[in-house]
Structure formats: structure tokens, C-alpha cells
């Protein structure tokens, strides 16, 4: 007769008490045990075929934790690099036995609370990852009713005063201020007086301009009067049209842009400006210096090594976010994680012999 597997036997193999084995296999109690010990118990239980009472009733072996990523505009949030981060996040979570769910939330002031109330009725996820667009006290309090595991993703410029009333929130903060200082420090001093910002006419560019001015002040430079040349607006621009629209703006404003020697750009607008400057005989690294923001992953390497980048490593960022999710499953105590992009300087051209 086949030996009956009990929690006592698994406990002996894992060197824990039988009650610890029961908690590890109980979806409502497993977070009380360290992740390493919980995974060890689950591995042994799976190997020997032990199921918890609740799992047997549910007809399943173990609880699959569900992680909800709340998105506003699917078209924008799943493009321009973010789609690669979501892909890697999904791979990491699935490899650890988690499921990633995408939930669309209308971030408009009129519909935000109603969207969150709909989530409140479903009680879908164990961990919710939300963006700064949900910085609304009422909507956050609604979410807190269904989960103590909430991660709010913010840029550093949004958290100078990080909402102390939301002490029950965990924060994932993307802080690029030190990287901006490093990028500014790399610009030759003779060119710094000719610094201009070129990019989209939207709130993201305004945030970047404010950060550049602030970081410049930290280095002893006064960029309060730094000019900007902006195009388009807050409306989303399809990726296949972005370059053409930016290039047209460069041509229309070239008389003004040609008077500057250092350019801080927003994303893909840098490539349109770079190509036009080179086409008109300007030499990178000698006649002009350019910095832009860009995403990077193994599926999307940096497109040009002649431009200086404030680089968001999407795989590294999603790895850090996964670790925060895993730690919150183990222990719902709120915590803050700070992720910093890296500065990738342009490659110097090879010297011809």
C-alpha cells in the first residue's frame, strides 16, 4: 500500500513545525512565512503530492497569486518601451507561479472613482501596481479596502512631498535626478551656456525641463532661462509618425535650433534633430552635444551609439518591481523601492589611420 503523505512528514523534511506547513499551503496565511521557506515547503509538497485542505476543496494544488497592473491609456501605456517592460514582468511572475493581469482604469476625474469601485466588486488580485494617475485619496482608499498590498509607481519629481497620509502604500520610485546631474556634468563647459530642450509639448516634457533646471542648480548652473523648442501636444502620436512630425518641427525651427550647441531631448525627437544637424554638416561631439531619454532591453537595444542616453533598463526595472511584489506577498508591510536609470555616454568615433 502506498504510504500516506502527511503534513508531519513534510514538516520533518523541511525542518519546520506541521503548523508552518499548513500555513505555507494556506493562501490566506502563506505570506506570514519567508518566501524561501514557503517555496521549499511547496516544492516538497508538490514532490510528495501533499495538498492543503483548502486546495483539495478547490480542486487545485496551490494558490496562484495574482498581480494586477492598472493602466490608463492602453495605447500609450503598452507602447514606447513599456510593452517590453510588461512582457518581462509577465515572464518573471509566471516563472515564479504568479499571474499578471492588466486592468484598464479610466483616469479621468469624472470616472476614476467609478472604475476603482468596479475593481472593488471583483476583488481580483493579491497585489495591485498602480501609476501616479491614481493619486486620488478616495480611489486609493477604495483600493486599500480590498488589499493592503498596493504599489504606487511614481517619478521622483512627483514625490517631493510623498503623501504621508498614505502610510499604508508601498512606493516604487523612478528617480533620474542623479543621472541627469551626471549627464549635465559630462557636457563640456563651453557648450553648457548653449543648452536647449527639444521635444513634445506635453506634461512629460515640462517635468523633464523642471528636473534639468533643478539638477543644474545643484551643480551650480543657472538654467532658469533655458529655452525650449516644443512641438505637438498632449495627444498621442503614433510611433510610425513620430519621427516625421519631429523632423518637420526641426526643419521649421532650424534657424533657432542652429544657434545652440547642447541639446537635451525627449525620447525619439533626438533622432530627428540629430539627423538634420548631421545632414547640414554639424559634427557630433565637436559642434554639438546631445542627450536624450531612451528605453533599453535585450529585445530593443539602444539605437545609436553617437548619442548620450539617460537609459531606462526595462528588464532591470521590472526585476526590481518583481522583487518588491514578492516581498509584499511574504509580508504586507509597506516599503519603498528607488530605481535609478543609468547614464550611457556616446561612443567616440574611431580614429582613422
Q: Does domain 65-175+315-340 have CATH number 3.40.50.2300?
A: yes
pLDDT digits (tens, 9 = 90+) for 218-263: 999 999 999 999 998 666 677 778 889 999 999 999 999 999 999 9
Highest mean pLDDT among 39-43, 62-66, 316-320: 316-320
Residue 264 and residue 262: Cα distance in Å, rounded?
A: 7
Q: Give the domain ranges of the chain.
A: 7-58, 65-175+315-340, 177-313
Residues 6+ apart with CB under 8 A from 96: 322, 326
pLDDT at 281: 94
Same fold, 65-175+315-340 and 177-313: yes
**Mean pLDDT score, 105-131:** 72
Phi, psi of 243 (to 5 degrees): -60, -45
Grid cell, residue 327, equals: 516581498
Residue 297 and residue 299: Cα distance in Å, rounded?
A: 5
Grid cell, residue 147, equals: 488589499
Fold designation for 7-58? 434 Repressor (Amino-terminal Domain) (1.10.260)
Q: What is the CA radius of gyration of the chain?
A: 25
Strand partners, 154: 173
pTM: 0.73
Q: Does domain 177-313 have CATH number 3.40.50.150?
A: no
Please give the DSSP secondary-structure letter assigned to residue 300.
B
How far from 20 is each of 7, 30, 32, 41, 254, CA to CA, in Å?
A: 9, 9, 9, 9, 69
Strand partners, 104: 71
Amino acid at each position: 500500500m502506498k504510504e500516506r503523505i502527511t503534513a508531519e512528514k513534510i514538516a520533518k523534511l523541511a525542518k519546520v513545525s506541521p503548523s508552518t506547513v499548513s500555513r505555507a499551503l494556506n493562501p490566506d496565511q502563506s505570506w506570514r512565512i519567508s518566501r524561501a521557506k514557503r517555496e521549499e515547503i511547496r516544492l516538497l509538497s508538490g514532490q510528495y503530492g501533499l495538498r492543503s485542505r483548502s486546495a483539495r476543496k478547490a480542486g487545485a494544488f496551490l494558490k496562484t497569486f495574482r498581480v494586477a497592473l492598472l493602466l490608463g491609456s492602453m495605447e500609450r501605456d503598452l507602447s514606447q518601451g513599456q510593452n517590453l517592460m510588461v512582457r518581462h514582468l509577465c515572464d518573471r511572475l509566471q516563472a515564479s507561479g504568479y499571474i499578471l493581469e492588466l486592468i484598464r482604469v479610466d483616469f479621468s476625474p469624472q470616472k476614476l472613482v467609478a472604475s476603482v469601485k468596479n475593481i472593488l466588486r471583483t476583488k481580483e488580485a493579491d497585489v495591485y501596481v498602480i501609476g501616479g494617475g491614481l493619486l486620488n485619496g478616495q480611489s486609493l482608499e477604495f483600493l486599500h479596502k480590498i488589499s493592503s498590498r498596493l504599489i504606487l509607481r511614481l517619478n521622483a519629481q512627483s514625490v517631493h512631498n510623498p503623501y504621508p497620509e498614505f502610510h499604508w502604500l508601498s512606493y516604487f520610485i523612478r528617480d533620474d535626478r542623479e543621472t541627469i546631474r551626471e549627464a549635465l556634468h559630462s557636457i563640456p563647459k563651453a557648450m553648457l551656456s548653449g543648452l536647449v530642450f527639444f521635444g513634445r509639448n506635453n506634461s512629460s516634457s515640462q517635468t523633464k525641463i523642471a528636473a534639468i533646471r533643478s539638477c543644474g542648480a545643484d551643480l551650480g548652473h543657472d538654467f532658469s532661462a533655458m529655452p525650449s523648442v516644443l512641438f505637438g501636444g498632449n495627444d498621442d502620436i503614433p510611433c510610425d509618425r513620430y519621427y516625421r512630425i519631429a523632423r518637420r518641427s526641426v526643419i521649421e525651427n532650424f534657424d533657432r535650433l542652429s544657434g545652440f550647441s547642447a541639446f537635451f531631448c525627449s525620447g525619439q525627437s533626438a533622432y530627428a534633430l540629430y539627423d538634420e544637424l548631421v545632414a547640414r554638416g554639424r559634427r557630433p561631439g565637436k559642434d554639438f552635444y546631445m542627450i536624450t531619454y531612451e528605453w533599453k532591453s535585450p529585445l530593443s537595444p539602444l539605437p545609436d551609439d553617437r548619442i548620450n542616453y539617460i537609459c531606462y533598463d526595462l528588464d532591470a526595472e521590472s526585476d526590481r518591481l518583481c522583487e518588491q511584489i514578492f516581498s509584499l506577498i511574504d509580508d504586507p508591510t509597506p516599503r519603498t523601492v528607488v530605481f535609478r536609470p543609468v547614464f550611457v555616454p556616446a561612443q567616440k568615433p574611431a580614429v582613422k589611420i
